[in-house]
Amino acid sequence: MKRIYLDHNATTPVHPEVLEAMLPYFKDKFGNPSSIHGFGREAKVALEEAREKVAQLLGVSSSEIFFTAGGTESDNLAVKGTAFANRNKGKHIITSRIEHHAILESCKFLEKEGFNVTYLPVDSKGVVYPEDLQKAVQNDIILVSIMYVNNEVGSIQPMEDISRIVKDKGIYLHTDAVQALGKIPIDVRKLNVDMLSMSGHKIYGPKGVGAIYIRKGVRITPWSHGGHHERSRRAGTENIPGIVGFAKAVELTLRELDDQNRHLKNLTETFYRKLVETVPDVILNGDLNSRAVNTLNLSFKGVEGESIILSLDLKGVAVTSGSACTSGTLEPSHVLSAMGIAPEIAQGAIRFSFGRGNTMEDVEYVASILPEIVNRLRSMSPLYAKGK
């Protein structure tokens, strides 16, 4: 059975060139970069070349790039690290209601430690209101953390407006760019952010590695203590194969950005159009014209999400949903709820996230099997009757 993967926002396959770049560092060049001998020096060279490459690609200096175990760790470091390093200046943090759990749970932890967190609301398309931010920034705020592109609906925040408001007050600004990297162009200097999180496995790189950009002069309290790795910001022997792979992945993803976006925009728009023509009561969660073009979050009225995922999985198609049954909690997606989407609609939401391996044939196949899947489930549903 042909397998079609439409869950690229969850993770991506490793690009063949990335894998090739990584292999030597598992086999022959396996040294510890902290070792003084030849094996160590060889690894150290690879580490610093990877750092320099990432820095160059982002237009920053290599002393501002720090490698971590992934997006979650980078987010934790940004939020908790900044909070603890600056708590003599204030104890108030601003973030949004639609952040990834790495940010939200870090904030919850900080609240238990005596910090106050303001969670900015979003509009029905999943975008923060700059006016709300303007009102919220006061003198006791030590950090604003707002994700650039949302993983569930692909909404893009007005980072330049946000930056202007925040930097005008001299407050530290972090953005979780885990989904933004490789999906939209990022100009770190122009954005004027102080910290930016990145993840390898979202950009056709390996899992277990990511990075954080920390602008020169920004102090953070490290959360991993031990050796003096990463300029004492993050202890732990560096994951050299992962880091080399990460740097290669950043290089490739930025190189392919425009072509990929053209391709993915075409795929998702065609997919959406086909569905709307063949399935009644399809609801788009988000903004078709302003989103990460690989992402489509659609609700099928009257049908719950996991039952659609199962049905698609039986046909070899991989997607995810924002329903409670898949989140492991009882509530629907916090992102969809924040957007004001009714619970029964949020429970029926499916995220289709396309990637570089997808083709128009994939679109045609999935669009051809969905109507029957949805109709079958609707015929069982007490919430859907023809003409409702």
Give the CA distances from residue 361 to residues 260, 358, 364, 366, 368, in Å, rounded to whole numbers and listed in that order: 16, 8, 5, 9, 10
Binding span for other proteins by CB under 8 A among 41-49, 184-192, 267-275, 298-306: 298-306
Binding test (CB under 8 A) with other proteins, winner from 23, 276, 360, 380: 380
* 129: its two tokens: 């209101």
Which token pair is 93?
Answer: 């943090």
Kindly indicate which of the ranges 67-75, 265-273, 286-294, 378-386 contains the residues binding other proteins, using the contact rule CB under 8 A: 378-386
Shortest Cβ 285–other proteins spacing (Å):
16
Outline where the chain has alpha helix (H): 16-22, 24-27, 38-58, 71-76, 82-85, 101-112, 130-136, 159-168, 188-191, 229-232, 240-278, 305-314, 324-327, 334-338, 343-346, 360-380
Give the burial class of 134: count Cβ atoms within 10 A of its Cβ; 0-12 exposed, 13-18 middle, 19 or more buried: middle
Name which of 45 and 385 has its Cβ closer to other proteins: 385
Question: DSSP string of 174-238?
Answer: EEE-TTTTTTS---HHHHT-SEEEEESTTTTS-TT-EEEEE-TT-----SS-SS-HHHHTS-S--
Question: Does 325 qualify as catalytic in the annotation?
Answer: yes
CB nearer to other proteins: pick between 266 and 326: 326
Closest distance to other proteins from the beta carbon of 202 (Å): 24
Reported as type and span, the H/E element at residue 8 is: none
The one among 342, 357, 364, 388 contacting other proteins by CB under 8 A: 342
Q: Closest separation between CB of residue 282 and other proteins, Å? A: 17
* Closer of 86 and 299 to other proteins (Cβ): 299
Side-chain half-sphere CA neighbours of 382 within 13 A: 0
CA 75 – CA 176 distance, rounded (Å):
7
Interface with other proteins (CB under 8 A), residue from 276, 288, 314, 360: 314
Among 23, 276, 310, 360, binds other proteins (CB under 8 A): 310
Tell me the closest approach of the beta carbon of residue 280 to other proteins, in angstroms.
Answer: 17
Applying CB under 8 A, does 307 fall inside the site for other proteins? Answer: yes
Looking at 18-26, 54-62, 217-225, 302-310, which segment touches other proteins (CB under 8 A)? 302-310
Check binding of 344 to other proteins (CB under 8 A): yes
**Given the structure tokens 């009257």, which residue do they identify?**
302
Binding segment for other proteins among 33-41, 130-138, 275-283, 341-349 (CB under 8 A)?
A: 341-349
User: Is the sign of the CA dihedral 178, 180, 181, 182 positive or negative?
Assistant: positive
Is 372 one of the binding residues for other proteins (CB under 8 A)? Answer: no
* Catalytic, out of 325, 337, 344, 365: 325
> Residue 148 or residue 384: which is nearer to other proteins going by CB?
384
Nearer to other proteins, 198 or 374 (CB): 374
Which residues are CB-neighbours of 343 under 8 A, at least 6 positions away? 332, 337
Task: Please give the span between the terminal C-alpha atoms of the chain, in angstroms, as a whole number.
Answer: 36
Catalytic residues: 325
Q: Which residues bind other proteins (CB under 8 A)?
A: 302-307, 310, 314, 323-326, 328, 330-332, 342-344, 347, 379-384
